[in-house]
Chain A
Amino acid sequence: AQSVTQLGSHVSVSEGALVLLRCNYSSSVPPYLFWYVQYPNQGLQLLLKYTTGATLVKGINGFEAEFKKSETSFHLTKPSAHMSDAAEYFCAVRPRSGGGADGLTFGKGTHLIIQP
């Protein structure tokens, strides 16, 4: 079974500082990889995804993530944090086989706090 580990349930950074949210997966075959963001009292919005090709993927709101197979990681970064980035961030994986019946497996989430 696949699993996703997000290190740090809470991450606090200053406005303008680098944001780094960590995600590691366990799977014998690299899965599809996703980052979702959840703003307070809202649904899940896709930030970015890795399916194939270039391992550095760019998403919305200035976020990007790099897939590193050797480290089984898919860490999310943003060079300069903004107050509006405060939210819950979820890393998720999905197996490449199975046709689509398998849903996403989510990590426990990381609450990003932006200090003024």
Chain B
Amino acid sequence: EPEVTQTPSHQVTQMGQEVILRCVPISNHLYFYWYRQILGQKVEFLVSFYNNEISEKSEIFDDQFSVERPDGSNFTLKIRSTKLEDSAMYFCASGLGLANTGELFFGEGSRLTVL
């Protein structure tokens, strides 16, 4: 069964460093998303991406964040200068859009720890 894959599963970084989280969405999906879950809190929407551009973004997704689909398969989230409060689990998701009931398929997540 097709699945969304994310790497790395866990990354530890120093405050101020740049981090890139990678995702390989399901191959025929059209919409791509990043979500964040701070430990013990709810899952929060960061950004959606369609047709090679950002479609929607939340207030969390400030100038420190960027997304890119550098080739036909990868979808990346970059945090330019990490802060302590960026420590969280980051989930990538993909979907076919509302024409397919709106279901999103999630990856296993990338846990980011900022020291």
Contacts and interface: CB of A to CB of B under 8 A. Distances in A.
- Main SS at interface, chain A: loop
Interface residues of A, number: 27
Interface residues of B, number: 29
Interface string A92-114: 10101111111111111100000
Given A44-B91, A49-B103, A107-B42, A99 B98 contact: yes
Interface of A: 32, 34, 36, 42-46, 49, 51, 90, 92, 94, 96-109
A108 B42 contact: yes
Interface stretch (B11-19, B30-38, B63-71, B72-80): B30-38
Contacts of A98: 98
A104 to B, nearest CB: 6
A94 B35 CA distance: 14
B81 interface: no
Contacts of A109: 42-43
Nearest to B109: A43
Given A100-B98, A103-B35, A44 B48 contact: no
A101 B50 contact: yes
A101 B31 contact: yes
A103 B106 contact: no
Contact of A100 (B41, B91, B97): B97
A94 B102 contact: yes
B48 A103 contact: yes
